[in-house]
């Protein structure tokens, strides 16, 4: 019968030392954090203008009064994000594959893809939203939607599609040439190699950066307010301009924090997991 392992006295001493070190680190971190935030809070609350700021930005009455309209407007932001995100993924992957094409016949496609990424990464997203939301309906084209919300969504797709395409392309370029050579040795075509070998590995590698981009997209849906779309930000500004109080803007900020923080924490966890896998030599 195998005898159970019993730690030695020296091992028990090591464990006790490590436990005391962890407790000391936690104590120092807690005291430091409470001290810093306490000092910041004391400075803010004791400042001469705090009563005015509190009345203007942190009024509970105005928070309750504006909550229904902000909530209804925020639903537009959520729907816009949920619709744009899958479209961006498809567009960005197509652009990345086009830029990675090797065939001489696809040179025009590769040039168009490069032009697209250069142009739409260079235009500020808010400017693109305003140009499309106001400019496209003004053309009066038959059979083309005239909704400002539709074209604001198109602007977000075009802008973020260019950024995400470069993320995909970096993932594709990071795959070692030996993977492609192995696929060719198995008589796989170029399209089959991309589909079954390169793209799956590339997507796994760039998943954390992709999630970071979508955290930004969640926030940037607020840019549609610049086109007069009655989203959460527009509702808050409308209430503030009418009541001369800007507490609704803080309410909107809380809505976006509740939506983005979980995805941000999941992204951090995923990055740590991938880093651990890389250190362990996993693929």
pLDDT one-digit tens code per residue, 103-116: 778 788 899 999 99
Which has the closest alpha carbon to 12: 20, 1, 4, 24?
20
Q: Which CATH number fits domain 57-279: 1.10.3720.10, 2.30.40.10, 2.60.40.10, 3.10.150.10?
A: 1.10.3720.10
**pLDDT band at 260, cuts 50/70/90?**
confident
Strand (E) or helix (H) holding 230:
none
Least confident of 43-52, 126-135, 180-189, 203-212: 180-189
For the chain, give the mean pLDDT.
88
Q: What is the model's pLDDT at position 1?
A: 54
Q: State the Cα–Cα distance between residues 258 and 64, nearest whole angstrom.
A: 17
Of all residues in the chain, what percent carry a pLDDT higher than 90? Answer: 52
What is the value of pTM for the model shown?
A: 0.83
The mean pLDDT of 230-236, rounded to a whole number, is: 91
Q: State the Cα–Cα distance between residues 13 and 82, nearest whole angstrom.
A: 54
Q: What is the model's pLDDT at position 139?
A: 87
The mean pLDDT of 227-236, rounded to a whole number, is: 90
**pLDDT band at 2, cuts 50/70/90?**
low
Bigger pLDDT: 11 vs 80: 80
C-alpha dihedral, 156 to 162 to 168 to 174, nearest 10° = -150
């Amino acid at each position: 019968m195998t005898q159970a392992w019993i730690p030695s006295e020296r091992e028990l001493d090591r464990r006790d030392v490590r436990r005391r070190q962890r407790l000391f680190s936690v104590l120092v971190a807690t005291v430091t954090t409470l001290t810093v935030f306490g000092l910041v809070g004391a400075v803010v609350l004791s400042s001469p203008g705090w009563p005015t700021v509190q009345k203007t930005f942190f009024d509970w009455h105005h928070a309750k009064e504006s909550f229904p309209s902000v909530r209804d407007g925020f639903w537009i932001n959520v729907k816009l994000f949920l619709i744009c995100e899958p479209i961006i993924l498809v567009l960005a992957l197509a652009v990345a594959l086009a830029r990675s094409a090797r065939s001489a016949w696809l040179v025009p496609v590769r040039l168009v893809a490069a032009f697209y990424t250069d142009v739409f990464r260079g235009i500020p997203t808010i400017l693109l939203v305003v140009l499309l939301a106001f400019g496209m309906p003004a053309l009066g084209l038959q059979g083309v939607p005239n909704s400002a919300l539709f074209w604001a969504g198109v602007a977000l797709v075009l802008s973020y599609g260019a950024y995400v395409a470069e993320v995909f392309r970096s993932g594709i370029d990071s795959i070692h040439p030996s993977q492609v050579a192995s696929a060719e040795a198995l008589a796989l075509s170029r399209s089959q190699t991309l589909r079954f070998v390169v793209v799956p590995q590339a997507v796994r590698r760039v998943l954390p950066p992709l999630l970071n981009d979508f955290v930004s997209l969640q926030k940037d849906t607020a840019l549609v307010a610049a086109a007069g779309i009655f989203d959460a930000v527009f509702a808050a500004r409308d209430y503030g301009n009418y009541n001369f109080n800007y507490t609704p803007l803080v309410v909107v900020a809380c809505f976006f924090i509740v939506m983005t923080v979980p995805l941000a924490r999941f992204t951090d966890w995923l990055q740590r997991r991938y880093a651990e896998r890389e250190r362990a030599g996993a693929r």
